[in-house]
Amino acid sequence: MKVLIIEDEKFAQEELKRFLARVEDYKIEVLDALESVEDAVEWFDTNEEPDLVFMDIQLSDGLSFEIFNQRNITCPVVFTTAFENYAIRAFKVNSVDYLLKPIEEGSLKGALDKYNAIKNKFVEPKQPVLNALQVEKLLNLSMEAVEFKKRFIIKTGDRLRHVSVEDIAYFYSENDYTYLVAKENAKFIIDYKLDELVDLLDPNDFFRLSRKFITNIHSVKVVNKYFNSRLEVVLDPEPKDQILISRVRVPEFLSWLER
């Protein structure tokens, strides 16, 4: 089994290598140990994908999810992190397990067994690697347990009411507040950050357009070409701010529109 480690702490890198070397049931070759998003993107540009990646979430130059925004990575991933709040987001991007630090050898062995069990479900005898369809099935198994938010409780005066996600046009942040905008153009303050909402919303229906906006796909009214290979997105109801999709995220956004 060929493994890649993406971890910015040297001690954690070495500890993970020691644990992997002691696993008797698998012959594991650690291909490399990387420390940053930039290093990982460059590595995937110049190497074949490994069988499995062990990936920390908070790296030296940002969150490891940015790697998936910049490159189309299909190999399975075991996330290793000290933070619980990224779990749902992790299972949207190739995750077969989510290990909290400090990692125990038993948990690591369990992650390897889980990967191997899922792989064997789809790989025929003597077939050395997973094909694209099998990888997709493998990842869908991990997503089956994820339940996304169906409604939000909002306060209007002294009353509480709920808004179903089907009735939400988009979310946006402004002046340290997060607003839910309903399709009828009603606006409400909610007690969530946009980073939290990314993990709670079904990625088939919602997409984070920028640092300030997450939209429902049904609220995308027009998409215009914009300067420097970017896209301008017009929502309905139309917000006061212009919304631009950065050049590196255009492929991901267009892929989402076509789902």
**Each residue of 194-236: pLDDT tens digit?**
988 988 898 889 999 998 999 999 999 999 999 988 999 999 9
Whole-model pTM: value is 0.51
CA distance 179 to 169: 11
The pLDDT of residue 214 = 96
pLDDT by residue for the chain (259 residues), tens only, comes to: 999 999 999 999 999 999 999 988 889 999 999 999 999 999 999 999 999 999 998 888 888 989 998 888 889 999 988 776 676 677 777 788 888 888 888 889 988 998 888 777 655 444 445 555 555 555 555 555 557 899 999 988 888 889 999 999 999 999 999 999 999 999 999 999 998 898 889 888 999 999 899 999 999 999 999 998 899 999 999 999 999 998 878 888 998 898 7
Note the CATH architecture for domain 2-143.
3-Layer(aba) Sandwich (3.40)
The pLDDT of residue 120 = 75
The pLDDT of residue 126 = 46
The pLDDT of residue 158 = 83
3.40.50.2300, 2.60.40.10, 2.40.50.1020, 2.60.120.620: CATH of 151-257: 2.40.50.1020
Q: Kind of pairing, strands 62-63 and 58-59? A: antiparallel
The pLDDT of residue 156 = 81
The pLDDT of residue 195 = 86
The pLDDT of residue 139 = 53
Q: Where are the domains of the chain?
A: 2-143, 151-257
